[in-house]
Amino acid sequence: MAQKVYAGVTVDVNEEGYFTNPSQWTREIAAEIAKEEGIDLTEQHYQVIEWLRKRYESGEALSIRSINKSGIVDVKTFYQLFPGAPLKKATKIAGIPKPASCV
């Protein structure tokens, strides 16, 4: 298992850079991962990230559709906040595993 240092903290990640232990995550760590992905986190980003973490903790599957129904952002804004591959990027920054969903 690989390890990475973010914001002075050593965290466990898999070979793609996703956290293997989501409890090691902090807001400061998120900001540094986001910088690696070329994103400056705003309060809106954090709202999405925290929603993703909550959803992950409750064991519910993550899909692009669930974002639309989150009540936090619509899908268009989600794509703007995390350009490129939004669900992959957002979960990486949120310190949770990469979603295995096809939708």
Partner 1 sequence: MANDKDKIKKINIICAKGAIEDVYATLVLGNGAVMEGIETNIFFTFFGLDAIVKNRMDKLHTAVVGNPALRLPGGMRMPTLLGVIPGMEAFTSWMMKKEMEKLDIPPVSEFMELITAGGGKIYACKLAMDMFKFKKEDLCEYVSGILTVGEFYELAGGEGSHIIFT
Residues noted as catalytic: 102
Nearer to partner 1, 9 or 61 (CB): 61
Nearer to partner 1, 29 or 90 (CB): 90
Which positions lie near partner 1, rule CB under 8 A? 61, 63-66, 68, 74-76, 79, 83-88, 101-103
Shortest spacing between CB 89 and partner 1, in angstroms:
9
Tokens describing residue 53: 């973490």
CB of 11 closer than 8 Å to CB of 24: yes
Distances from the Cα of 58 to the Cαs of 12, 20, 40, 55, in angstroms?
A: 21, 17, 27, 5
Shortest spacing between CB 55 and partner 1, in angstroms:
12
Nearer to partner 1, 17 or 57 (CB): 17
Shortest spacing between CB 66 and partner 1, in angstroms:
7
Measured CA to CA, the distance from residue 98 to residue 92 in angstroms comes to: 7
